[in-house]
Chain A
Amino acid sequence: MTPDKHDVLYGTLGLMVIKTLEALGPLHGYLIARRIEQISGNQLSLNQGTLYPALLKLQQSGWISSKWGTSESGRRVRIYTLTSAGRKQLQKEEAQWQRATSIVERFLKISENPS
């Protein structure tokens, strides 16, 4: 396997899932996993199995809902949809995330320029 792949940062999988669902609409588990891998430019080593507990947690929080449906290849799959609560949560988390990264960025700049 590619040696420079990164593990999913703790706590970010949920955010990735709801962002994916927001961008692409209702999807089943395998497609969500594939999209996350593709969007990360295959830079992310996602154990696809870990996706399912994350999906369950999101459902418990009420941010996504699911129902049984059929995949393009005709298999019985569970299809996940973003709820309106999930959409709000996404906005909140995006904002938080951006603030956090901008702070970290600033720190990194300091350390790059020791004066």
Chain B
Amino acid sequence: MTRLRILLFRLWSLVRARQMDREIDDEITSHLAEATDAYIQQGLSPEEARLAALRGFGGITQAKEVYRHVRSFMWLDDLARDLRHTVRALRRSPGFALVTIVTLALGLGATTVIFSVVNGIFLRPLPYPGADRLMQVQPMLARGSGLFSYPDFADVQEQNRTFAGLAAYTSRKTSAATVDQAFRATSTQVSPGFLSVMGVAPAFGRGFSADEEQTGESVAVVSYGYWQDRLAARSDFTSQGVRVNDRIYTVIGVMPRGYDFPAGTDLWTPLAPRTQSRTRTAHGFQVVGRLRSDSSAAVAQQDLKSIATRLKQQYGDDEDMVDASVRPMIEQLAGNVRAALTVLLGASVALLLVACVNVANLMLARALSLDRESALRLALGAGPWSVARRFMTETLVLTMAGAGLGLAIAFGGIAALLAQSTTQLPRTDEIGLDVRVLLFLLAVSMIAASVVGVFPAFRAARRDPRDALADSQRIQGPSATTRRFSGGFVMAQISLTVVLLVGAGLVGRSVLKLLDEDPGYRTDDALVMDIWLPAEELSGASTELSAGDAHVATYLDRLMGGLRRIPGVERVGGINHFPLQWPPGANGSYILINRPDEVANWDDWERVGSDRSRTGKAQFRVASSEYFAAMRIPLIRGRMFDARDTPDAPHVALVSASLAEERWPGQDPLGRLVQFGGMDGDYRAFTIVGIVGDIQELGLGRTPQPTFYADERQRPRRANEFHVVFQGGGDGATLTAAARGVARDLDPTIPVAFRTLRTVVSAWIGDRQFVLVLLTLFGVVALVLAATGVYGVVSYMAARRMPEIGVRVALGARGRDVVRLLVREGAVCTVGGVTIGLIVASLSTRAVASWLFGVGGTDPTTFAVVAVAMSAVALAASWVPAYRTSCTDAMEALRQD
């Protein structure tokens, strides 16, 4: 009880220490005055009385000192004193302090930046209730994971016993319009129950009713952002229709602010289950599910696997789903950056280690130079703890300053990272400095402090003062132990740097090789104009163009005609799915037919399609006649689309070289009849009229896929999203403005956007580039740190061995010999470090394997270049201090001590 009182009292005293100091001063003054008065009354002169009072009181300073002890915690006072002492000591060597702080800040800053990204993407929970039970479900097809077909989804939804709810959805970019404006919007069609699976209800208005969900009523729930931007945040939003793809939707609800799933959606509309395709191989839906509380991802996985197996048995070749994967939604969101962040986190920790090693070496050198002082303090009775504490306080002060500066670096770094437009990080609004990041920084700083501070502290405290005072290091040079430690530190540093540089080198060479690839199309500054037209829902089969389809064809025809009339523009052509576009374009089954009218409807399709020898799979694209010329995709045989190919003429198609090779090896595909009705619902036959070059459509360096091209004028149904390529004389800005003018004159409600082929490529490479830029940055910083590490050790050795060198020079050693002697110190560390680094690198390149292209994990060129560069830098860093030493006068060196 009393103890607790004392503790509280002392804590309180901490707060009012200053006031208490003042009060005790007053009290002592009064005391002395009272005592003086008393002595005067006893008959002493004022002067004598005052002296007597002071004598009676005893030492004033001692009294105050004891008073302070009683007042509060002694160790706090000690700490304050140590801190003051440290700051004074560091002020005397500002160079040391600055280098240490900046070095630590670089390491801590880099690590914090990467960690804050990891934190934002992986560690912060998703903003949905019970988000840990939200799963992304994907079917596994024979060739990998893919999208669900609606019948498969419906079966899984009905038969599973592990999900409380499953919902399918499909998003697309479309043009949309309210009464007074047209814009591009992302609209997501959702199956019944989607909102309840997500566990989020509209903030205003209502969600879909069961009837609306079943019949696919024209109602829409909109995002908070959409409501604000397009509906001016009006409360009577239900009266605000929105036109999407020629259907007018009534807005019935507004989702809460921050709700963003699937990412970027502006409008959610119900999809009518009954009107969906019955084909099990027509994949088009993503699926999200909420696990039942008594289930887990692994159990659900088993459950779905057995369903998939059952379906496969039941439907045989009509079913291509063989399994299903169940992954937490957060993983799915972060999937493609996980590997990158793991590598970068590793790299930043390596950088931090390099920085720590540098600082540890500096601290060690400093401890050595303070040996005599420490020894003296020990000899005069200071406890080992108090001597060690001094070094630890120093480390702490430096680390905390480093952490502070590191925080500033992290702050700037995060902003710079997010500003980089080439990176497509998910959940970017969650990335930033929060409590968890700050705690991380604090923890890492503490670890760093103990790494760099413990050794010098331990060493200083442990030494026998007699030894320290007796052996004058100026004569003997540093002890073997110390040299081993310093050397080992530098070696570790060099090897870590080598690992970082090898990583950067491998990814860098991969990027160069990728850019060197010939993708089969141009990658220069030609313009790409992206157009989104309203499209009709695909409904049933047909053999003729609907009014909407005709509208698309007419619009594209006029647009491309308008573009051709811009002065200087030649070759204007477009396609409905552009290379390197994500997600991948449509693909499906085709059937070889003998007569043009052999397949005229769904039943024919099913009957003929059951003959597997006559079917195949290919990418299905819709292109205009000049697309291939505009993209510089060569015509290998036959002819391109031309003026003959009107909508009413027999429909024609081009096939890619790989499709020709795969389907008609050693035969001539020209003139063959093909049916691709499953893709666009049009059952008119194609006649193959030409073979065009293969292109790397999925990605640079990826194997070209067998591709089938239809003519946009004949089959415009899937051309509502279109990408027109053209090149003109003048500069890009003028050309873009002219093209925008053409589009506006034609139809101001159609949204368009512009890119160049070069940016298409660099956006695709962005992911690798992101890793490359950061790895290179870390590698270069580590290289600089390692170089200063080597420099520091060699100059320190040189200074310590000065007397020895003096003797050598006096005995006839030349400057060259001195340089060689000292450079050898650095060379040993360098060779060791580079060797270890190369070994570690060859063992750990698996980490960057997914970004490698055209180079092996142990690419000899990269390894050799890194080894040579690292050695050259390290040797240069040791040569400089060695040379400087060799220039000093021998006599001066000897007189130094």
Which A residues are closer than 8 A to B by beta carbons?
28-31, 33-34, 47-50, 52-53, 56-57, 59-62, 71, 73, 75-78
Contact = CB atoms under 8 A, between A and B. Distances in A.
Contact of B35 (A30, A47, A50, A60): A30
B63 interface: yes
Given A48-B58, A49-B60, A53-B70, A61 B34 contact: no
A53 B37 CA distance: 24
Interface in B46-82: 56-60, 62-63, 66-67, 69-71
Contacts of B317: none
| Closest 4 pairs (CB-CB, A-B) | A49-B63, A47-B58, A30-B34, A49-B58
Contacts of A71: 30, 34
Contacts of B33: 73, 75
Given A30-B30, A61-B6, 15 more contacts: A30-B34, A31-B34, A47-B57, A49-B58, A50-B58, A50-B66, A52-B24, A53-B63, A53-B67, A60-B5, A60-B9, A75-B30, A75-B33, A76-B26, A77-B31
Contacts of B27: 29, 52, 77-78
A94 to B, nearest CB: 18
Contacts of B10: 60
Contacts of B28: 49, 52
Contact of A61 (B2, B26, B35, B56): B2
B57 A62 contact: no
Interface in B9-45: 9-10, 23-24, 26-28, 30-31, 33-35, 37-38
Nearest to B2: A61
Contacts of B66: 50, 53
B55 to A, nearest CB: 8
B11 to A, nearest CB: 11
A23 B516 CA distance: 101
Nearest to B27: A78
B67 A56 contact: yes
B2 A62 contact: yes
A100 to B, nearest CB: 20
Given A48-B57, A49-B63, A73 B34 contact: yes
B38 to A, nearest CB: 7
10 contacts: A28-B34, A30-B34, A47-B59, A47-B63, A49-B58, A49-B63, A53-B66, A60-B5, A75-B34, A77-B30
A53 B69 contact: yes
Contact of B34 (A49, A53, A77): A77
Contacts of B60: 49
Contacts of A56: 67, 70-71
Given A47-B57, A78-B27, A62 B5 contact: yes
B30 to A, nearest CB: 5
B170 to A, nearest CB: 73
A28 B6 CA distance: 22
Nearest to B66: A53
A34 B62 CA distance: 20
Contacts of A30: 30-31, 34-35, 38
A71 B60 CA distance: 21
Nearest to A56: B70
A78 B31 CA distance: 10
Contacts of A31: 34
A27 to B, nearest CB: 11
B5 A73 contact: no
Contacts of B2: 61-62
B62 A61 contact: no
Interface in B379-395: none
A7 to B, nearest CB: 12
Nearest to B32: A30
A51 B5 CA distance: 21
A29 B26 CA distance: 12
A59 B9 contact: yes
A60 B34 CA distance: 26
B9 A50 contact: no
Contacts of B38: 30, 34
Nearest to B3: A61
A52 B5 contact: no
A52 B23 CA distance: 11
A76 B26 CA distance: 8
Nearest to A34: B38
Nearest to A77: B30
A52 B34 CA distance: 15
